[in-house]
Chains A and B, each alone.
Chain A
């Protein structure tokens, strides 16, 4: 079955926009994806027909809101292939999910002289929370190196797993380069030494089929807004037996069983980790986004994006003085590049005037930039609604850059 991209595009109202008098060419979905009408409708419908606080009132609206909120949790559980809904914790986003694990799980399991293993491909959000933890607990951060294509050195990873390793935290897909990490292998190797693994799935969920039980990971985190859902909502998946042992992170309402001034007992997961009124509309919107992706079919999305990536890689290779950064064999639809003699920031400004939105800079992955000896790259990230014509527009835009900088 072929991919009817024009029909898909009609689901995203914002794609009809013009910017600077040109049709919008949105190639920045790795920063945040656009939202389909069904997600926007879900948000409006919640606020117009069901708005009330969850897990509180006996009144009809509260029951409705609770049912929709918990319904979203169940959809996400199925989407990730998790065994139980209790393993799905709503958070603000990937960053909060990682910090939750670092602060709640990490503080208990990591002590002086212990080690945490990450990779050289990580986004700052999967570096800094671990650095903070290491500093607090007097532990050490170990970094798995990458090769010139932006691929993990698995042998080095194997060697870094030692008797003091307490946790491995790795990206599923690298945000700056698009590399798909061999997470299943890496999880198996870590488990072989009894080490739990957190996977940062922020860049993966919109591109790949993710099944947490198949992967075997202990924690999996992602953000709703990169999966066609609203901002401010994300998911932490944790194995039930781990979540059950973890202390709460933030205290407040909804995470308690009994409060007295002498002693408070906490709720079971996931509520133990959802203090305060959650982002109810966001969760419901994310549920709608997950349904949308499932309807389109994740394997079909991945197949279409692979085609786009091949087309885009070829098209960019033909641009004079352009060098792709990140040429891993296993890659998601991200094209990161530098242009000889032109800084990424200038490329971004000129493309913007052509209606083309790309990300320029270090992509919150400064160590990756340093590894490749570049201060910044231009990153075009493709999603299920992008077209070959848009890649052609990008190539045209890059010619314009050359003209101006001649």
Chain B
């Protein structure tokens, strides 16, 4: 039970119920689609880039609580960041999810550390990383939809 509470923390449930930045972006400069063929999750991420700075980022789609909350918190966190900062954050977020659960997550992840509980649910890691993979694909200018398979 405690592991379930670790997974479904209030912050995550709140973002699932009221996802932030769940919208189109006005005049997006970058866009990507992501799919998780295993469960049918689908997310699209739009960004408006000004030089190296992410001026706006939003997402749409359908998915489980973990993927929706992850997209919601990711878009909140990436507003106003540089592309390099976004990539570095993705790297640390990803590492947190795949590392041994005994290690504590990187301190600079901030609120994103609530996803550490996903480590105990290997089949759900892809749910948490799908929005990040999609944002990464958008930043890299990939035209093809990304999948977590």
Q: Which A residues fall within an 8 A CB radius of B?
A: 341-346, 349-350, 353, 360-362, 366, 369, 375-376, 404-405
A349-B124, A375-B63, A405-B13 are contacts. A361–B39 as well, Cβ < 8 Å? yes
Q: Beyond A349-B121, A366-B40, is A343–B63 a contact (Cβ under 8 Å)?
A: yes
Task: Report B's interface with A, CB cutoff 8 A.
Answer: 1, 3-5, 7-8, 13, 17, 38-42, 62-66, 68, 121, 123-124, 127
Q: How far is the CB of B91 from chain A (nearest CB, A)?
A: 25
Question: Is the pair B8, A375 in contact by a Cβ cutoff of 8 Å?
Answer: no
Of the candidates B13, B42, B64, B123, the one having the most CB atoms from chain A within 10 angstroms of its own CB is B64
With contacts A345-B64, A346-B65, A404-B4 taken as known, whether A375 is within 8 angstroms of B40 at the C-beta atoms is: yes
Bound CA–CA A361/B42 (angstroms): 12
A176–B93 Cα distance when bound, in Å, is 35
Main secondary structure of the interface of A (DSSP, over half): helix
Residue of A nearest to B38 (CB): A361
- Residue of B65, B66, B68 contacting most chain A CB atoms (<10 Å): B65
B3 touches A345 (CB 8 A): no
- The A/B interface has a contact count, at CB < 8 Å, of 52
Instruction: Report B-chain residues with C-beta under 8 Å of the C-beta of A361.
Output: 38-40
Contact at A343–B65, with CB atoms within 8 Å? yes
> Shortest beta-carbon distance, A362 to chain B, in Å?
4
A and B contact pairs by CB, cutoff 8 A, 27 listed: A342-B65, A343-B62, A343-B63, A343-B68, A344-B39, A345-B64, A345-B66, A345-B127, A346-B65, A349-B4, A349-B7, A349-B121, A349-B123, A350-B4, A350-B8, A353-B1, A360-B39, A361-B39, A361-B40, A362-B39, A362-B40, A369-B40, A375-B40, A375-B41, A375-B42, A375-B62, A376-B40
Sample of 4 further A-B pairs with CB below 8 A, known A345-B64, A362-B39, A376-B40: A344-B39, A345-B124, A349-B123, A375-B41
Give chain A residues whose Cβ lies under 8 Å from the Cβ of B13.
404-405
Report the minimum CB–CB distance from A78 to chain B (whole Å): 39
Of B40, B63, B121, B123, the most chain A CB neighbours within 10 A belong to B40
Q: How far is the CA of A344 from the CA of B64 in the complex (A)?
A: 7
Q: Which residue of A lies closest to B124 (CB)?
A: A349
A342 / chain B contacts, CB cutoff of 8 Å: 65
Q: When the two chains form their complex, are residues B39 and A345 in contact, meaning their CB atoms are under 8 A apart?
A: yes
A177 to chain B: closest CB distance in Å? 16
